[in-house]
């Protein structure tokens, strides 16, 4: 069912330092910061030949990653995102298997403009899993 790894998201407490480390020390192709006020994050994409790293920095009040950074002040890996062809079929299969979908169970439009769902980390070995319909 799942296809490509769309991205790995890393929450960072200092966006400038993170950009410098990936661009200068690791020599990666780092994009410009993009504010996503609807999602409460500023996002920077790092383009690798086969996938992306998504740096997440809190934007505005009530950012969904503020609590994560309180628990992990240095930052850390926040979620992985797998691509699916049909997010409703994927959701129904996951619910049948007993996995919990976060929120009201309906796909939302994610930061890339595509339908997404998040799955409960306790059902996936402590890893927050995003599914994105591509």
Residues making contact with its own copies (CB under 8 A) = 1-5, 8, 10-14, 17-18, 21, 24-28, 48-51, 53, 55, 72, 74-77, 80, 82, 93-94, 97-99, 121-127, 129
The nearer residue to its own copies, 17 or 88, going by C-beta atoms, is: 17
Query: What's 62's DSSP letter?
Result: T
Q: Is 130 a catalytic residue?
A: yes
The nearer residue to its own copies, 8 or 64, going by C-beta atoms, is: 8
Q: Which of 54, 83, 130, 132 is catalytic?
A: 130
Burial class, 94, CB count within 10 angstroms (exposed 0-12 / middle 13-18 / buried 19+): buried
Nearest distance, CB of residue 21 and its own copies, angstroms? 6
How many angstroms separate the Cα of 122 from the Cα of each of 5, 21, 63, 81? 20, 31, 22, 16
The nearer residue to its own copies, 82 or 118, going by C-beta atoms, is: 82
Q: Which residues are catalytic?
A: 130
């Amino acid at each position: 069912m799942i296809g490509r790894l769309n991205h790995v998201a890393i929450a960072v407490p200092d966006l400038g330092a993170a950009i410098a480390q990936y661009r200068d020390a690791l020599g990666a192709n780092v994009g410009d910061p993009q504010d996503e006020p609807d999602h409460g994050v500023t996002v920077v994409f790092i383009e690798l030949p086969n996938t992306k790293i998504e740096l997440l920095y809190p934007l505005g009040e009530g950012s969904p990653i503020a609590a994560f950074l309180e628990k992990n002040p240095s930052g850390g890996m926040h979620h992985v995102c797998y691509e699916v062809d049909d997010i409703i079929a994927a959701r129904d299969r996951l619910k049948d298997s007993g996995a919990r979908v976060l929120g009201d169970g309906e796909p939302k439009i994610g930061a890339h403009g595509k339908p997404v769902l998040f799955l409960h980390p306790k059902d996936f070995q402590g890893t927050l899993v995003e599914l994105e319909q591509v």
